[in-house]
Amino acid sequence: MSNQDILKSLNYLDNLDNLDIKLSKLNLKSSTHSHLLSQVRCYRDELGRYKERVDSNYDDISVINGSIQAINTQLTRAIEHNTQFTSSVRQLLNSTHTLQSKLQSTEQFLETFTLPPQAVLLLSSKDYNMDYPLLDALTRLNDIRHKAQLLHTPTGDQSTAALDILHTSSPLCETAYVKICKYLKHQFDMHYAKRGGGEVIVEGLHVACLEHLAQRDDLYHEVLVHLAKLRRMLLQSQFLTALANLESNEDIITHPVRFAGELLAWLHQHAADEKELMSDLLAKKPVEETLSSALLDVSRRIRLHLTHALSFTHRSEQLTDLIGFYKDTLTQSIPVASITDLFAYL
């Protein structure tokens, strides 16, 4: 029964007027009080145990709270370390990107300004064999030197790297050009000074070599002078042979007009052939100076014979008309100094 029921019972007994046996009443009341006291003690004991559990839980909570605070401190430190680590990683990534960019730039620089080993070997070899791979290597070397000349410092001066590239590549470039020069002279001796009047076939390799050598004015001029000398000697030899055959059939004294016509016809044919040869060989380069030099000796000899013919004919109209015709034809088709001088002094 509940405490409230016990109290009601006690109040009820206190109000009983017709109860005769007071002792029973007191005993009942005492028993009820004892029971109530027992209940109170049990309740108190229960509260004591509850308090112990609460105190025990409070200690556990204090320990847990301490642990949480320690964890929070560790987390705070971990966050700080992580922030520092993240910053370090970011700096490392930036450094890596910078290094990669520098490495890429260095690789591009080396690729742009470095000759392959095979090209270096071709250009530096001591033999005078010539082929298109060597010319390609020289083109590559000239391209490197041209790009190096464009390298400047922020102040506008040429950079140290550019000067070093130009300095180290200069001997290699010089060796290649000298090699081309000697090769062409040898080839000209072999192919462009043949006696016998056979057709000269211009080789593409010779044209390509001359195009490369044109970048060196001194060596290019040296080669052209050599070529002109060879062609001049060959034309003079061919002219003397033709003149010997002509004099065996014609006489400058008895047939001066016919003799002069044969000479001028020979000059017209050979000068045209020479111009075609020079144009094919020198490609788009000017041929006038070299052609004039090649024709110089035969032009002088023909001028001398024409002067004699004019003297023998007392400058006859037929001969002067013939000379005038060839003058107009030759000076228009082959406008070089030696041809112009030939007719200028007649």
The residues spanned by each domain of the chain are 3-111, 114-179, 192-344
Residue 23 has a pLDDT of: 66
Per the CB < 8 A criterion, the answer to whether 259 and 246 are in contact is: yes
Give the range among 27-36, 56-65, 79-88, 280-289 with minimum mean pLDDT.
27-36
Residue 152 phi/psi, 5° resolution?
A: -135, 155
Percent of the chain with pLDDT over 90: 57
**Distance from CA of residue 191 to its chain's centroid?**
39
Residue written as token pair 């109040």: 11
| CA atoms of 317 and 314, how far apart (whole Å) | 9
How many C-beta neighbours within 10 Å does residue 231 have?
22
Per the CB < 8 A criterion, the answer to whether 298 and 268 are in contact is: no
- Tell me the pLDDT tens digit for each residue of 153-168: 666 676 888 889 889 9
Half-sphere exposure (Cβ direction) of 330: Cα atoms closer than 13 Å: 29
Q: Which helix (H) or strand (E) holds 65?
A: helix 22-113
Per the CB < 8 A criterion, the answer to whether 239 and 245 are in contact is: no
Q: Which helix (H) or strand (E) holds 150?
A: none
Mean pLDDT, rounded, for 237-244: 92
Read off the tokens for 307: 């002067």
Q: Per-residue pLDDT for 30 more than 80?
A: no
